[in-house]
């Protein structure tokens, strides 16, 4: 795979408001290289653009260009460790404020998008009901599952749009 580089233009810079996530994970050399290769959106269903630059991995929403997560990989021994990780807390770009959930979602994105592993999508506490977890997964990660076909009313759709599609 060709390493994804930062595209010119449309990406928003790091937000002024952010929190450290403290995501502690270790990867083999091969996994670290695969993570650094990033992810380029190719179809509408691809919700993320991920690229690396100077040891940092940046996770932007593909449609809005908002930087939601970023982390620094540090080589150590025969692999690499996440030494720093952050999540946006700019309410104009991203309204989620649950650090624990952001750690779970970032870990899911690393596993599913970058390492191409099967990974269970983390469903936030309080999100339930027929169809909603699958719809959330499709909206957030760009990956569908059978649940998304069940249909969800406009109120939930509006909530999802407010959460992730800020402009």
Work out the average pLDDT over 89-118.
94
- Note the pTM of the prediction, 2 decimals: 0.82
**pLDDT attached to residue 163:** 54
Task: Fill in the DSSP letter of residue 118.
Answer: -
**pLDDT attached to residue 1:** 66
Indicate whether 109 belongs to any domain: yes
Q: What percent of the chain has pLDDT over 70?
A: 82
Indicate whether 9 belongs to any domain: no
- For 41-70, write each residue's pLDDT tens digit: 888 888 999 999 999 999 999 989 999 999
What's the chain's length in residues?
167
Range with the poorest average pLDDT among 16-20, 90-94, 126-130, 137-141: 126-130
Indicate whether 93 belongs to any domain: yes
Indicate whether 13 belongs to any domain: no
CA 21/CA 155 separation, integer angstroms? 30
Indicate whether 2 belongs to any domain: no
Tokens of 61: 């929403």
Indicate whether 167 belongs to any domain: no
Give the CATH number, domain containing residue 77: 3.30.310
Range of the domain at 92: 18-120
Instruction: Using the predicted structure, report yes or no on whether residue 72 has a pLDDT greater than 70.
Output: yes
Count of structural domains, the chain = 1
Q: 107-111: long-range contacts at Cβ-Cβ below 8 A with a sequence spacing of 24 or more?
A: 107/23, 107/25, 108/141, 109/48, 109/50, 109/59, 109/69, 109/141, 110/25, 110/35
Element holding 101 (H helix, E strand): helix 99-109
């Amino acid at each position: 795979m060709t390493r994804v580089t930062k595209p010119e233009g449309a990406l928003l810079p790091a937000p002024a408001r952010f929190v450290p996530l403290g995501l502690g994970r270790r990867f083999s050399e091969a996994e670290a290289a695969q993570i650094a290769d990033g992810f380029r959106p190719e179809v509408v269903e691809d919700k993320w653009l991920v690229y690396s630059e100077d040891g940092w991995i940046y996770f932007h929403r593909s449609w809005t260009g908002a930087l939601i997560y970023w982390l620094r990989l540090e080589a150590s021994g025969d692999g690499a460790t996440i030494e720093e990780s952050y999540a946006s807390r700019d309410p104009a770009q991203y309204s989620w404020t649950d650090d624990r959930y952001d750690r779970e979602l970032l870990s899911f994105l690393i596993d599913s998008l970058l390492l191409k592993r099967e990974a269970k999508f983390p469903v936030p506490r309080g999100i339930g009901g027929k169809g909603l977890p699958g719809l959330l997964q499709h909206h957030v990660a760009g990956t569908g599952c059978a649940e998304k076909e069940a249909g969800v009313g406009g109120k939930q759709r509006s909530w999802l749009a407010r959460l992730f599609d800020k402009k």
